[in-house]
Amino acid sequence: VSSSATAESIETTYKRDGVLVIDEILSAEVIYELREWCLESTIWHDMKKTYMGSYLVDGFSHPLLFNVARSMQKKFTFLRGLEMVQLWAYNYEPRSPSGISLHADSAKVNINIWITPDSANLDPFSGGLVVYTRRPFGNETFTQSQDPEFGRSFLAGHRHLNFTVPHKQNRAVIFDSELWHETDDLW
């Protein structure tokens, strides 16, 4: 983990907003190694209409991923004591205008790190992640928290802000997993 931001400022921002953006989170060597591994691997088993996914159970388990997780836990106290439960990666169809739909997860923290070069995104102000500052109340079912229609209806009825974080290679978005979130438009 090679962020120039101080751990203290990062902790303060995360506690205040529930969303944190850190650029240049990994070394260039780690980004290169992970990208090459993803491009050459046969781990992509979850085929959707506009993307394919890979999860820990599918083999998305390069040792560098575990090293990164340990390094982040050492640097950021709000991650200490949390167990890494899931890893995933998504590879989007080049002509697809959309990615993962609106949903909320039942975990403590999500960490998204983009390893795709900036040149692959035609609009430098999009292609990232939108995180809404509202979480479900807790009495929704898992199915409801994964339903974009339910999420849009929920958000329409409750005041919230949103953080729209554009794609940038080697950018991490760390956020409270229970906040509603979705992939920003892909161009």
What separation in angstroms does the CA of 56 have from each of 12, 30, 66, 80, 84?
A: 31, 19, 11, 21, 10
Alpha helices for the chain (secondary structure H): 7-17, 28-40, 63-75, 142-145, 148-156
Say yes or no to pLDDT of 187 above 70: no
Say yes or no to pLDDT of 132 above 70: yes
Identify the pLDDT of residue 2: 63
Question: pLDDT band at 26, cuts 50/70/90?
Answer: very high
Amino acid at 12: T
